[in-house]
Amino acid sequence: MSAEKKLIVALDVDNPGRAEELVDILAPEVEIFKVGIAPFTDFGETILSKIKSLGKKVFLDLKFHDIPNTVKNAARAAAKKGVFMMNFHCLGGQAMLEAAVEGVKEAGVKERPILLGVTILTSMGEKDMMAIGLGGNLKEKVVDLANLAYKAGLNGVVASPEEARVIKEKIGKDFIVVTPGVRPEWAQAGDQKRVRTPQKAIAEGADYIVVGRPIIHAKDPLEAAKRIKEEI
């Protein structure tokens, strides 16, 4: 897979005009754009249409987590929007994840989206896990949740670069790993705790890397994207 196809740019901005501008600027170098809960809630349909109008792909990052029937309906609706990827919190349980898979099947779309389970957010460390009653080895928890996603029929997971290699080893090389928490050496980590550089994330087994602030807040976003692709 080429560097262009491995890079996902997170459009984490609060202005629809700026979001569209970034898509135009980055389109020559970027194939996939992530639309998260804040921009989707604010101007979702507008930005999805913009991305698709340029022949680009959407990672719909809404992290669905609800009762199985509700998630099934949400997955069906999202699939009908023609997105390339979408995700669901593994902590919702196997029945919820299986319902998501069923919802996408019911959508009847020609090309089914890649379905990802969200393991443990990259902003969380072991102390954060203890605080919500999920103590123990964080990496083991991530692998357990990845296994749950696999059993439910999902195509892969969202996990930090620190866990990518062990997920591939335990589940298989074809099980997709998408890694946020990726920061080039020239960028700040921000609120991310479990981070790697783009080059190290790919070396650890990531199939796709998600990069937001180092690109969208750069003085020259296109040049920043090019630099990250070179690192990949």
Q: Which of 5, 56, 63, 226 is the catalytic position? A: 63
Dihedral sign, Cα of residue 109, residue 97, residue 176, residue 44: positive
| Cα 198 to Cα 141: distance, rounded to the nearest angstrom | 24
Nearest Cα to 156, choosing from 187, 106, 123, 117? 117
**Pseudo-torsion of CA 201, 206, 210, 214, nearest 10°?**
20
Which among 198, 213, 184 is positioned nearest to 22, based on CA atoms?
213
Contact 117, 111 (CB under 8 A): no
Is 63 part of the annotated catalytic residue set?
yes
Which residues carry out catalysis?
63
